[in-house]
Amino acid sequence: ATTKMMTIFEAIRSSQLMQTPSAAMSPTRRHHHRAAHYLVPLLLTAMLLQMPSSTIAFLTTGSQSQAAHRYPSSLQNAYRDESSFPLNNGNGQQQTSTSSTSSSPQQNHDVPQLSKFKSRPPKIHPDSGGRITLVGSGPGSPSLLTLAAHSLITDPSNLLIVDRLVSAEIRTLMDEAGVNYKIANKTPGCQMAAQDEIFEWCKEGLRNGKHVVRLKIGDPFVFGRGGEEVLQFRQFGVEPTVIPGVSAAFSAPLLASIPVTHRGISNQVVMCTGYGKNNTSPDLIQYHPEQTVVFLMAVGRLRKLCDSLIHQAGYPPQTPVGIVERAGCPEQRTVVGTMESIADLAERYNVRPPSTIVVGEVVNVLLTEEDFVEVVKIKVEQGGLLESDGVVDSEERGGMIVKSGHHGLIV
């Protein structure tokens, strides 16, 4: 019977049906055809001979060893390792596959690693009835709040946990509505302690059955630790609702008349943070002449950042740089310089967070000389600043400062 089975198997496998030229197929169809090259003859043979399953399993193992020479390892692993994907057991509950590969100590990096949570907790805490909403407040102006955010932060029944850099104008809006809120004092060097305090406040609010509104600047998921907070809130037993905000990465340059893309000038935008985990410096973005790089939370290490971009990432010293401070607020300022002069300008004019840094040729696309209320000349070789009356020659221009009115209108 085995000899007969192998004869049928080879006959089907070598038939005209199984000999479709692979070169004429798409990559996806080619993978399917290769699988069928072994599986279809095997199944047909089993049907013809009514073979026991043990024999089929034996032959399948043999065919896998041959297929290993045809398939890339990533494709084999993606089909074999199901341990990372949730399965439904039929009772509405999720369970994890207990395939033989899950017991292997070697982690499979070819398969997407999902959250350690098997499922999302409820939106409302089952014991206390409390819930959490994660809200983005935008760049700073109350008029740039989303309708959902405005409704939540002006509801006196909510408990608000507010980032330190949320603008005074938005806090005034909350004060006028009689909202109870706490401010997280996340100053440089004590971020972790402040974050722990935030989580304690949120846990206490949940315990008391409150609707906790966690208010963050910009958008919660753009360098705002929003994902980390969602994971922590899940450990508290609730799945937070997330309300997006207008990110300063795009709104701050717009309010300062700096387009992050411009045909013929910049065809790509990269967003970066100035601080990685544990206050480390993130990897540098290599220079490209048609690229805009937007840095958030980087003004505190601006001089080091510019020096690294010049000497390690290949940025020309004359690359335009703009800093937009307190975007959308009445005291918004835009400071414009070059890679080698912007740090001196920032020190001279005492630029502080929240500030958005824009690097690239787009900085000079829309701004005109009439926009600048003050023009200064930098003596880089002396490491100092020298004020100049009027507009200095373009060859000597090191940096300029723009003082602007509300919503980025140039005065």
Q: Which residues are catalytic?
A: 163, 186, 297
- Region of 21 (left: φ > 0; alpha: ψ -120 to 50; beta: rest) is beta
Tokens for 276? 């990685």
Angle, alpha carbons 82-85-87 (nearest 5°): 100
What backbone torsions phi and psi does residue 265 show, to the nearest 5 degrees?
A: -115, -50
Q: What is the rounded CA–CA span in Å between residue 44 and residue 8?
A: 9
> DSSP state, 297?
S
At position 219, the amino acid (one-letter code) is: D
SS3 374: strand
Q: Rounded CA gap, 353 and 216, in Å?
A: 14
H or E element: which one contains 270? strand 268-273
Q: How many other CB atoms sit within 10 Å of the CB of residue 113?
A: 9
What angle is formed at CA 91 by the lines to CA 86 and CA 96, rounded to 5 degrees?
Answer: 20
Residue type at 371 in one-letter notation: D
Q: Tokens in use for 113?
A: 């690693």
Q: Helix H segments across 183-264?
A: 191-207, 226-235, 248-255
The DSSP bridge pattern shows strands 320-325 and 333-338 to be antiparallel
Q: Where are the alpha helices (DSSP H) in 208-313?
A: 226-235, 248-255, 302-311
Sign of CA dihedral 8, 14, 17, 18: positive
DSSP 57-124: HHHHHHHHHHHTTTS-HHHHHHHH--TTSEEE-SSS-EEE---GGGG-SS--TTSPPPPS-SSPPPSS
